[in-house]
Every structure is written in C-alpha cells, then in structure tokens.
Structure 1
Amino acid sequence: MAPLLVAGLGAGALVLLHLRDPHEEGSYGICPVYALTGWYCPGCGGLRAMHNLTEGRLIDSLHSNILALPLVLAFALWVGDWTIRAWRGRTMRLPSIGLSTAWAVPALFVVYSVLRNTPWGTWLTPV
C-alpha cells in the first residue's frame, strides 16, 4: 500500500507541474538559496525541468536542470522495485550503496553547484 501511495504522490506532483507552469515568475516562489546568495543551487531549474518533461520537451528539460532526469529515473526505479517487493510480500529495503558512491553523489552536487555559477558553466544555468 505504501509504495502505491508514494507513486501516487509522485504522479500528482507531475500533474501539478504539468498544469501550473513554473516558467511564469512567482508561480512557485523563488529558491531561497538563490534569493539569499544569488547562486544557483543544484535544484534550481528542477521544477521547470519536470514541467518540460511532462510536455515531452527533453532538451528543454536538460537545459533547465541536467540532474532532474537522472534523479527522476532513479526515483521511478526505486518505487518500482519497492512496489514489486511489496507485491511479492517482501519487506522494503533501502538500496545499498558503497562508500565511494556515498561520497561521489554529494561531491557531484557540490561540483555541479560551483560549475553552474562560474563563467565556464553558464550552459548549466537554468533557462
């Protein structure tokens, strides 16, 4: 039951993002990190990226936030695995990750955040 609830919440969020365009200024507020520092955080452009995905505009989605698509795919795989395990009567387990992955993912977010705020990373800034 819980996996279906989580999947339903994810689908509901996608429907909301499809119906209410985050490209319109002020529709979802402003990123607090950007408001306080003027820097783009790793999540900046994520709502626009998801909106573009719901409209089938993959390239526009990648221009808004290049990390959004891989994160959504990982979430979908995780919920799918959780659903299958629940259906078969197995307990839910968190995916096991190695120590190198545990360090690499936050490092990726830090490098991505710094790079998108430099003159060389302007192609990573949200559109």
Structure 2
Amino acid sequence: MRDPHEQGAYGFCPFLRLTGVPCPGCGGLRAVHLLTEGELTAAAGSNLFAVSLVVVLVTAWAVWTARRARGVDARFLTWSSRTVVVAGVLVGAFWVVRLTPWGAWLAP
C-alpha cells in the first residue's frame, strides 16, 4: 500500500527521534517490505536481525503446521526463561555491533 522507503510514510522511530541513535528495529519495516518483493539482499541490508526473525518465525510456523496436520497438539512457540535471555543478548549484541564503525554495514 505504502512504500516504507518514502520519508514519513509510516511515521518515525521515537527512540531515534529522542536519542539520535537507531534502535535494533530501525529498518525492520523496510526489510519486511523488501522481503515481500523477493529482494533478500536488500532486505538484509535494511535490517539483518528482522530478516533472521522472519526466517525463524516462518520455520516455526511450518513446523507447527506439520505437527498439527499429523494431529499432534503442538504449541506454536514456547518461551523458556533461557530463550528470553538468549534473545535479549542477541538483540543487544546486534544493536551494539551495528553502532560501531566495524559493524556499520548493519546500520539501517
């Protein structure tokens, strides 16, 4: 409907506006938009973490669908405290790395 690459198409990132520093999600909407157009490389350039998250969610959905088709009463996702900690560490590491000069290729 709208192109997220256009300035102001979907508003602004409040964290970026307040601090001048991009958050880990900055570029995620552009990445998902580019994925829907089949542009994997450009999507990864917008937000590699968002692309990875989409891959994980699609894989989890496919596994869940296959299990449900076999009649197994499966949960879509289970979140243990370890999973939450690992996810938090990954998001934090991605955020820090994309703000450093040697991780500038990850910046939105």
TM range (shorter): 0.7 to 0.9
TM-score, with structure 1 as normaliser: 0.71
1:2-59 superposed Cα distances (whole Å, 9 cap, x missing partner): xxxxxxxxxxxxxxxxx42100111111112112211111111011111112222222
How far does residue 121 in structure 1 lie from its aligned partner after superposition? 2.4
Change in Cα spacing, 1:103 to 1:96, as seen in structure 2 (3 Å) is closer
How far does residue 76 in structure 1 lie from its aligned partner after superposition? 0.8
TM-score, with structure 2 as normaliser: 0.82
The Cα RMSD (Å) is: 2.1
Q: Give the count of matched residue pairs.
A: 107
Percent sequence identity over aligned pairs:
48
Q: State the distance in 2 between where 1:88 and 1:65 align.
A: 35
Quick check: 2:2–2:9 contact (8 Å CA) kept in 1?
yes
Gaps of 5+ in 1: 1-18
Q: State the distance in 1 between where 2:103 and 2:19 align.
A: 17
**What corresponds to 1:74 in structure 2?**
56
Amino acid at match of 2:47: N
1:45-91 superposed Cα distances (whole Å, 9 cap, x missing partner): 01111111222222211110011222111111111222223333322
**What corresponds to 1:42 in structure 2?**
24
**What corresponds to 1:109 in structure 2?**
91
Q: Is 1:92 equivalent to 2:74 in the alignment? A: yes
